[in-house]
Amino acid sequence: MSSQHFIPPVNFGMIEEDLYRSGQPNELNFPFLEKLGLKTIAWLAPEEPNQRFLDFIDDQEIQIHHLGVVTSINAWDPITEEAVLQALDLILTPSNYPMMIMCNLGRHRTGTIVGCLRKLQRWNLTSIFEEYRRYAGPKVRLLNEQFIELFDTDLVRVPTNKPSWL
């Protein structure tokens, strides 16, 4: 008798109903992800996901949007405003749900996107930074927090058919 184990990816969390975050999953996480019934993944890391994960995405017929391509040579640079706006456009389109936002470890790029989303939801900065730090652990990047603080939510195009939680 074999039992199925459902192991979430590193830094997995639920942002809102049918909207999740995590780091790049491995094969042990695939049964868990399958249960989520994902339609869309926003991939934020500059490099491509690993081939096994790409095969899983293909098998599950999940749409992947690679938004993390950077022109900067320094991987420590914060995510670009353009990538944040593209990610928020995907997030604010309910037909993309269930959806997951992810980068390599689900910390910095994912945390910046979630922080900007929380700002759009009118969370106060203390709560936004507490959530960012919970996932970043000891590796908080002040540039990301500064980016979130200075992010202009007026640049975000909010659709008429927006998610109910916005």
Q: Which residues are catalytic?
A: 103
By the 10 Å C-beta count (0-12 exposed, 13-18 middle, 19+ buried), 13 is classed as: middle
- Contacts of residue 9, defined as CB under 8 A and 6 or more positions apart, other chains included, come to 22, 23, 24, 25, 26, 29, 32, 33, 102, 106
- Contacts of residue 73, defined as CB under 8 A and 6 or more positions apart, other chains included, come to none
Question: Can you tell me the distance from the alpha carbon of 75 to that of 55, in angstroms, rounded to the nearest whole number?
Answer: 26
